[in-house]
Amino acid sequence: MIQVYFVIIIIMVLQVDKGWDKLFVSVICMETGKIIGKCRKALVQNGQCHWEDSMLSTIWISNHSPQHNQPYLLKLVVAMGSARFGILGEAIINLSSYIKPETYTASLPLKNCCHETILQVRHLLIVLCVT
């Protein structure tokens, strides 16, 4: 088993269409389907939404070691209401692309969104613990 710690320090959503007043982001482990992290709701202003708080989450990954380039997928869901209703869009990030303990920046276009909304994840730190 591999334990993966990751920190999302700043998340920003750009080009949000009118009608979305407050948004939050849920992080879902694609392997288990469970929500493993969630940011508080933040106000949308001038088509942008900013979060200043950080989110620390941990997941356990079974099977192969990270050297085999196995995909370890997280779904980031941007929503106004519950994670099932009022969803603005979603993006998928592959943790195996960020396997080194470094800081990264990713700009992810939201899928299932009729606008060109972008989710920016900054300072994503991945730390692996093999047990």
pTM: predicted TM-score of the whole model, two decimal places: 0.81
Q: What residues contact 122, with CB distance under 8 A and at least 6 apart?
A: 9, 10, 11, 12, 105
Domains identified in the chain and CATH numbers:
2-130 (2.60.40.150)
C-alpha of 118 from chain center? 12
Residue 6: name the closest of 130, 123, 131 by CA: 123
Residue 61 has pLDDT above 60, yes or no: yes
Q: What is the pLDDT of residues 1-32, one digit of tens each?
A: 667 667 766 678 999 998 899 999 988 988 88
d(CA 126, CA 4): 7
**No. of H helices and E strands in the chain?**
0, 10
Q: What is the pLDDT of residues 104-113, one digit of tens each?
A: 788 999 998 8
